[in-house]
Amino acid sequence: MARNVLESSLLGAGFSIIFQILCRILTFGINAYIVRHVGREVLGIMNVRLLLLESTLLFLSREAINRAALSANAQQGDRCSWAQLINQMWLTVPICAVLCAPCLYIWLNWLSAVDAIYASQYEFACYAVALSCVLELLAESAVFVAQVFCFVKLKILLNTLHILVRSVIFLWIVTSDRSAAINAFAVAQLSSAVTIVLGQYGFFYFYLKGFKDFVAQQTRKKPPAAKAWQVSLYEHMDDFPFKQLNDFLPGVMFNPNGKHFNRELQTLTLSFVKQGVLKQILTEGEKYVMSVSPVLSFGEQATYDVVNNLGSMAARFIFRPIEDSSYFYFTQTLSRDIKLAKQPQERVRQASSVLNNLLLGVSSIGLIAFTFGQSYSYPVLLLYGGPDFVAGGLPQSLLQWHCLAIYLLAVNGISEGYMFATNTSRDIDKYNYLMAIFSISFLVLSYILTGIFGPVGFIFANCINMMGRILYSTYYIRAQYRPLSLDPLLGLWPGKLFGGTLFLAGIVCYWYQSSGLATHLGVGVLAGLACLLSWALAHRDLVRLAWRYGRRIKIE
């Protein structure tokens, strides 16, 4: 396989960041419209309750299977056939269908009831969201193949189309009838799921036809010169095992191993299942607490969700794409079952350097968010939701504390992602017990601290939880690289120049926060530019590397 995994990971992260920025701008615009014109309670039902149902079903159905399959494809390719991988990916559909029954019962009968005027819409939306999850997973085998064979632009194109379809349909219905917002959400979810399925299989239908013609041309005695787009799509695909679209279906592709499923892959999947349940609790724990107990009304839940989404912009725009691409890179570069000292040292050094740079990049972004978030939370929320939204001071306080969580989230995402990518099945099982402790303590802390501090308690509990996980994952990384005299954790230290500039910028911006809005924003822009310049001066090598890959993305 001649594909460059590191280059593909970097390109994937770059395109994903651009996609996330464009699509989240659209999503935040829709949320702002709902807050101002439809009502916070409706937003709370959609963005907290219904999206939590979608997140729960999709995460529990595919996360463990996808992660295990990626590792098996990279490290057990001789023992795990593509037919077994496709069969494994199709397990997500019946798993999701089975999970729909208990989840729908819980969402419709156990969780705090919605107001009577929204009850019928809410029930329809729950069924629609569950069905959309099952439909979306029909394309999971194609999504997995596209990821393994580095179809980066396909992923971005289809994700963009998915968001656009969902947003256009939702706005079209809501602008006609504001009282039907929840029904509009449900119809939009179903439409976007159908878009994903048609888009994935539609692409591979035409790709397989073109690939077959390309191979036939190259086998001639005097093959014609290939066009640039053909080279970019079909070159270095000698190991592409699919001949027809039916090969993406379960049980159709030729299986040289005989068995439909791989036992080692099943064992690894079970390890990730245990871990996935706990990680889902940690990721969406505050929403589960809000949904199970009447801690907050739907209006207050919407306020927390809006602030949480604004505070998580960096995580969604930048950190998550980087985490996904870095996890893919580490699973394809390092082996789980072999000590680093016995693996190819060039790969190990490259992985250490990549991990160091990733930690440096995301921690620097987190520090910038924390520094400027203390002074600019109020104007951001005022511009987003209007004077009524920021009245009382709760949204501002939530966003200021959330900026601390952004830094911890950035570091934890990379360090824990690396650990998951290189853990053995036994290590994963051991960590699952610790994750259980983290999950239980997080839920207990959320309940206790929310009673003491209000909604801010969710953020306090999340910060405490992430600090514990960071300590564990960094201990694992240091122990793994210590025998090799390498320390990728040095990336957590941003440097004196950048740190000092950040400190001064924070003081100056806080000093001018009582000035006029234009003055305050102007000072923030200048301070931000000074921080970026100091970071670039302190890390010239990384700037040159980013510039080189940026030019490559532009050329391609």
Range with top average pLDDT, 87-101, 239-253, 327-341: 87-101
Q: Assess whether pLDDT exceeds 70 at residue 392.
A: yes
Residue 2 DSSP class? -
Q: Number of helices and strands (H, E) in the chain?
A: 22, 0
Give a yes or no: residue 516 inside a domain.
Answer: no
E strand residue ranges, 302-407 = none
pLDDT digits (tens, 9 = 90+) for 442-454: 888 988 888 788 7
Residue 391, judged by CB atoms within 10 A of its CB (0-12, 13-18, 19+), counts as exposed
Q: Quote the CA–CA distance of 421 and 418 in Å, as a whole number.
A: 5
Classify residue 24: in a domain, yes or no. no
* pLDDT for residue 1: 44
State mean pLDDT over 104-128: 94
What is the distance between the alpha carbons of residues 369 and 352, in angstroms, rounded to a whole number?
Answer: 26
Residues 120 and 263 in one domain: yes
Instruction: Tell me which DSSP letter residue 317 carries.
Output: I
- Tell me the C-alpha distance between 259 and 255, whole Å: 7
For residue range 171-196, list pLDDT tens digits in order. Answer: 999 999 999 999 999 999 999 999 99
Kindly report which listed range (178-187, 209-218, 219-228) carries the lowest average pLDDT score.
219-228
CA separation (Å) from 201 to 7, 67, 140? 26, 22, 10
Residue that is last in its domain, among 454, 477, 494: 494
pLDDT number for residue 199? 96
Domain assignment present for 457: yes
Structural domain includes residue 204:
yes
Backbone angles phi, psi at 211, to 5 degrees: -65, -40
109: how many CB neighbours lie within 10 A of its CB? 8
Domain match, 217 and 342 both: no
What mean pLDDT, rounded, does the chain reach? 86
Q: 398 and 452 share a domain?
A: yes
Is there a contact between 372 and 531 (Cβ–Cβ < 8 Å)? no
Q: Given this model, what pLDDT does residue 61 score?
A: 95
Neighbours of 32 (CB within 10 A): 17
For position 318, what pLDDT does the model report?
76
Same-domain check for residues 263 and 321: no
Residue 549 pLDDT grade (very low, low, confident, very high; cuts 50, 70, 90): low
Q: Measured in whole angstroms, how far is the alpha carbon of residue 319 from the centre of its chain?
A: 8
The residue among 228, 249, 276 that closes a domain is 276
- By residue range, what is the domain housing residue 487? 293-494
Start-to-end CA span in the chain (Å): 20
| Same domain? 311 vs 446 | yes
The pLDDT value given to residue 12? 59
Residue 271 and residue 305 in one domain: no
pLDDT at 2: 47
Residue-wise pLDDT for 14-69, tens only, equals 666 666 677 767 877 888 888 878 888 899 999 999 999 999 999 999 999 998 89
Q: Tell me, yes or no, whether 240 and 386 share the same domain.
A: no
Q: For residue 159, count other CB atoms closer than 10 A to its CB.
A: 17
pLDDT at position 217 is 78
Q: Is residue 132 part of a domain?
A: yes
How many CA atoms lie less than 13 Å away from 372 in the CB half-sphere?
23
Same domain for 373 and 240, yes or no, is no
Mark whether 336 and 393 lie in a shared domain: yes
Report yes or no: 524 and 379 within 8 Å, Cβ to Cβ: no
Burial 176-213 (b: 16+ CB within 10 A, else e): eeeeebbbbbbbbbbbbbbbbbebbeebbeebbeebee
Report d(CA 546, CA 273) in Å as an integer.
36
* Inter-CA distances, 226 with 212, 232, 239, 260, Å: 14, 10, 19, 38
Total structural domains within the chain:
2
What's the confidence (pLDDT) of residue 5? 62
78 shares its domain with 216: yes
Compare 516 and 508 and report the one with higher pLDDT. Answer: 508
Q: What is the pLDDT of residues 255-303, one digit of tens each?
A: 887 788 888 888 889 888 877 887 788 778 888 888 886 667 788 888 8
Q: Which long-range contacts (CB under 8 A, 24 or more apart) does 29-34 make?
A: 30/167, 30/170, 30/171, 31/306, 31/309, 32/384, 32/385, 33/171, 33/174, 34/174, 34/181
Which helix (H) or strand (E) is 521 found in, with range? helix 517-538
What pTM did the predictor assign? 0.76
Report if residue 538 sits inside a domain: no
| pLDDT confidence of residue 499 | 92
Amino acid at 221: K
